[in-house]
């Protein structure tokens, strides 16, 4: 019919299109940013059972040991009064040694924690070298090495520079050079010696198991020596913690991959082709030992390398390769 507007004309479609667009936008906004629903934390089933089990087992073992010791003392006393007294004296000596060992372990853990704290404060002071913070850090470093006779000259130099040097960055550099320069040189020598020893022994060893055992023993001894060099007391539980820290550092940085990369860069294809398989394996073991030593330095040093050059793997590798070249020459 004429004169009757079409109910589905352009205006109706436009209105419906706007409504549909608004609905789509609202739905999109709703789905794009939903309200976060907190996930219910599931209770740790069996945790209290595990703690109860190990607590009961520990108490049972302790009671068993006490009963065994008490039975031994009674048996000795029944046989002879003198034997019972000797048994009591020996038990007292063992208990005293155990207490001393525990105190040493606590002291070693505290020393390692102090090293970690000094390293963290040194990093903060290097980023923001304020005079008060640098003075406090320098005083802590001097106190940390107060009983180390090898740092006597360095501590005296730091005391002289306090009144002459007013720049915090320069004072921090003087403290690092005065206290750690000689220790860094000794650490380089320790790492090179251990790496060369591992390289030679594993190159001539006929058993792979002997190679693995020798590398592990030398690595642990190297970590302990480096920790003692920088002021730590790595023994027992403290040594286990330090070894775990070094292993974590190697996992992050890729110890074996870095060793192989440096081996290829320093040696080159010519020398690598001339080396025998066993000699190359010994060389790679030595480089890995050196990498462990460098990681131990980073975990044991109370300051990061800033004013002093760091201990680099290529310089250790060159020393190992020089020895391998000598060992490769046939005897005349």
pLDDT per position in the chain (332 positions), as tens?
A: 444 444 444 444 444 445 554 444 444 444 444 444 444 444 455 578 888 888 899 899 989 988 888 888 888 888 888 888 888 899 899 989 989 988 888 888 888 888 888 989 888 888 888 888 888 899 999 999 988 888 899 898 888 887 777 888 888 899 999 999 999 999 999 998 898 888 888 877 777 777 788 888 888 888 888 888 988 776 666 677 667 767 665 555 454 445 555 555 545 544 444 455 666 677 788 888 888 888 888 888 999 898 899 888 888 877 776 655 555 554 44
Note the residue count of the chain. Answer: 332
| Predicted TM-score of the model (pTM) | 0.66
Buried/exposed 225-239: b ≥16 CB within 10 Å, e otherwise: bbbebbbbbbbeebb
Separation CA 78–CA 76 (nearest Å): 5
What pLDDT, on the 0 to 100 scale, is given for residue 184? 92
What pLDDT, on the 0 to 100 scale, is given for residue 186? 92
The tokens for 117 are 């704290």
Separation CA 125–CA 187 (nearest Å): 25
What pLDDT, on the 0 to 100 scale, is given for residue 43? 43
Q: How many other C-beta atoms lie within 10 A of the C-beta of residue 306?
A: 15
User: Of 297, 300, 293, which Cα lies nearest the Cα of 319?
Assistant: 293
Place of tokens 């005065």: 178
Whether the CB-CB separation of 302 and 118 falls below 8 Å is answered with yes
Separation CA 34–CA 13 (nearest Å): 31
Place of tokens 């009144």: 163
What pLDDT, on the 0 to 100 scale, is given for residue 325? 53
The tokens for 261 are 């990369």
DSSP state of 303: S
Cα 51 to chain centroid, rounded: 29
DSSP assignments along 129-187, one per residue: --HHHHHHHHHHHHHHTTT-GGGHHHHHHHHHHHHH---HHHHHHHHHHHHHHHHHHHH
Separation CA 105–CA 111 (nearest Å): 10
What pLDDT, on the 0 to 100 scale, is given for residue 177? 92
Rounded to 5°, angle at Cα 233 from 198 and 238: 85
DSSP state of 292: H
């Amino acid at each position: 019919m004429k004169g009757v507007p079409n109910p589905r004309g352009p205006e109706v479609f436009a209105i419906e299109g706007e409504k549909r667009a608004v609905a789509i936008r609202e739905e999109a906004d709703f789905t794009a940013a939903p309200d976060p629903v907190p996930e219910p934390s599931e209770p740790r089933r069996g945790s209290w059972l595990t703690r109860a089990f190990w607590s009961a087992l520990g108490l049972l073992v302790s009671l068993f040991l006490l009963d065994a010791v008490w039975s031994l003392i009674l048996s000795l006393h029944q046989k002879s009064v003198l034997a019972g007294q000797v048994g009591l004296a020996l038990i007292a000596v063992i208990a005293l040694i155990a207490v001393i060992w525990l105190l040493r372990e606590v002291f070693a853990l505290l020393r390692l924690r102090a090293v970690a704290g000094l390293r963290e404060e040194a990093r903060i002071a290097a980023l923001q070298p304020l005079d008060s913070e640098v003075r406090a850090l320098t005083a802590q470093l001097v106190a940390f090495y107060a009983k180390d006779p090898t740092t006597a000259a360095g501590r005296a130099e730091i005391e002289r520079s306090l009144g002459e040097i007013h720049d915090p960055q320069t004072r921090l550099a003087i403290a690092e050079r005065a206290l750690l320069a000689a220790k860094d040189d000794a650490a380089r020598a320790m790492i090179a010696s251990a790496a060369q020893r591992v390289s030679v022994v594993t190159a001539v060893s006929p058993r792979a198991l002997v190679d693995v055992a020798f590398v592990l023993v030398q690595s642990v001894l190297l970590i302990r020596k480096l920790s003692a060099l920088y002021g730590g007391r790595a023994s027992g539980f403290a040594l286990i913690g330090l070894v775990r820290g070094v292993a974590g550092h190697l996992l992050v940085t890729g110890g074996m991959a870095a060793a192989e990369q440096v081996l290829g860069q320093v040696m080159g294809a010519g020398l690598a082709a001339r080396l025998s398989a066993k000699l190359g394996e010994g060389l790679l073991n030595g480089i890995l030992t050196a990498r462990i030593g460098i990681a131990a330095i980073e975990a044991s040093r109370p300051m990061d390398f800033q004013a002093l050059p760091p201990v680099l793997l290529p310089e250790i590798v060159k020393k190992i390769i020089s020895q391998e070249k000598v060992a490769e020459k046939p005897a005349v």
